[in-house]
Amino acid sequence: MAHLSVKEYLTLNRLDKDIAQSFQATVAKALIAIVCLAYLLHLDLVLPIAEIQERFPLAQYYTKYWITYAAVAESKDETL
């Protein structure tokens, strides 16, 4: 996530190809999906839902949106 001018700079052909690859939207969304899944896998599911929401404030967001990020990156990332 970046300001539009930063995004434009990073996605134009001004950077080395190795570095520019890291700033592609698909790569970024794949990484976000992986972070979401890692976060969710570390939840202590024996806790009551209210306590999970308190101790893991991003759990609800990650539960809802990890698949959106993964779907975009699915064809590019074998891990997902």
Here the tokens at position 70 are 């993964």
Could you give the CA distance from residue 26 to residue 77 in angstroms, rounded to a whole number? 9
Q: Which pTM value belongs to this model?
A: 0.67
Contact 43, 58 (CB under 8 A): no
Per residue of the chain (80 residues), give pLDDT as tens. Answer: 667 777 777 666 666 766 666 667 788 888 889 999 999 998 877 889 899 889 889 999 999 999 998 888 776 667 66
Predicted pLDDT at 13: 64
Distances (CA, A) of 20 to 3, 10, 36, 41, 80: 17, 7, 23, 30, 22
Predicted pLDDT at 1: 61
Predicted pLDDT at 37: 92
